[in-house]
Amino acid sequence: MHHHTSYKNHKFSHIVSAMRTMSSLLPLLLMFWAIESHVEGQQHVFALLDPGPDKPVPPVKPAPPPGKPGPPVNPKKVRCRSPMFPTCYNQWHFCPAECAKNCFVDCVSCKPVCSCNFPGAVCQDPRFVGGDGVTFYFHGHKDQDFCLLTDPNLHINGHFIGKRNPKLTRDFTWVQSIGILFDNHKLLVGAKKTSTWDDKQDHIYISFDNTPITLDGNYQNSSLLITRTRPTNGIAIEVQNKFRITATVVPIGEHESRIHGYDITNDDCFAHLELGFKFYNLSDEVDGVLGQTYRRNYVSKIKMSSNMPVMGDIPKYSSSGIFATDCVVSQFGRLGRTSVKGEVF
């Protein structure tokens, strides 16, 4: 009995001693638990940011710079309309941020592409992409007409609008309308002047052989087809074996004006055309600001190392009117030229 009591007292003393040890270690254990929990939390965050090679990294949207909120972006949705590409046909895509309102789907790659980045594009102040793929600028002068393309059976002039920039020796200019001569026809496509922009209103103007066209649906006669590319402000013009032209009316917005220093006021948003050209069966004497870049022997003289490569020789492209063929380089009506067969772009 005495032996059993002694054993119990000895066991109790061990328990008390262990409890005292645990009590002294408790702060250390709590500290280690807190550190371990923090590390595990960090590892969980790192796993979200870098989930490993077999899992996609979740997108991270960068925060806008403080005090400078970006303009609201509402990109246009576009789709491939050619059933020849069944894997892409009718799939919707959003336009890229750099051309949120003016793009199309390249059905081959099934990706949205900025309309102003393809050969034959004329956009902005005016920025050209030549038939050779080289990008350049041609500023011209405001309220004047210039020969964009001239060939024996096709002539296209552009009417420039703009603003004088007191800090520069040139005008800010945009293409407001184009006058197209083909066969015995005259086609005019232009942007109506407007102070404030409403994309739901149609700001495009079309006349064929001096007769205005109201485009409720498609317009077609023996040689000309005009279709809508969007409910308002966008059309495609096609003449078989001659050309296909896309024309979109766009304004100069407040954000764009501020960035480039256009100083656009509320009385005129400088509605203008963004254009895309494809030509068929051009001769090898084709000329004009854009037209010359489609010649097989064309060698660009533009200084490409410049921040803004500009095509000069403004006087030789100047025309006396939107349908005039009196520019120095005019080829319209001259017969007996060698034709370049097939599509050129």
Residue-wise pLDDT for 158-169, tens only, equals 999 987 766 666
For residue 337, the model assigns a pLDDT of 45
Does the residue 20 lie in any domain? Answer: no
Does the residue 336 lie in any domain? Answer: no
Same domain, 134 and 281: yes
For residue 106, the model assigns a pLDDT of 82
**Number of domains into which the chain is organized:** 2
For 180-227, the pLDDT digits (tens) are: 999 999 999 999 998 888 889 999 999 999 999 988 878 998 789 999
Does the residue 110 lie in any domain? Answer: yes
Same domain, 126 and 185: yes
- From 64, 94, 114, the end of a domain falls on 114
Same domain, 199 and 315: yes
Q: Which two tokens stand for residue 196?
A: 């404030």
Positive or negative CA dihedral for 139, 145, 146, 149? positive
Does the residue 338 lie in any domain? Answer: no
Q: With a cut of 50, list the residues of the chain below it in pLDDT.
A: 5, 7-8, 11-12, 15-16, 22, 26-70, 337-345
Alpha helices in 196-298 (DSSP H): 254-260
Q: Which two tokens stand for residue 126?
A: 């005016």
Same domain, 78 and 162: no
For residue 37, the model assigns a pLDDT of 39
Does the residue 305 lie in any domain? Answer: yes
Does the residue 197 lie in any domain? Answer: yes
Does the residue 46 lie in any domain? Answer: no
Separation CA 267–CA 275 (nearest Å): 25
Same domain, 174 and 246: yes
* Residue range(s) defining the domain that contains residue 275: 117-319
Other beta carbons within 10 angstroms of residue 106's beta carbon come to 15
Separation CA 277–CA 245 (nearest Å): 5
Positive or negative CA dihedral for 162, 164, 167, 169? positive
The identity of residue 232, as a single letter, is: T
Same domain, 221 and 310: yes
Same domain, 173 and 207: yes
Same domain, 146 and 78: no
Same domain, 109 and 207: no
Does the residue 96 lie in any domain? Answer: yes
For residue 125, the model assigns a pLDDT of 84
Separation CA 4–CA 2 (nearest Å): 5
Same domain, 162 and 213: yes
Separation CA 201–CA 167 (nearest Å): 35
Same domain, 143 and 103: no
Q: pTM for this one?
A: 0.70
Same domain, 296 and 149: yes
Q: CB–CB of 56/48 below 8 Å?
A: no
For residue 185, the model assigns a pLDDT of 95
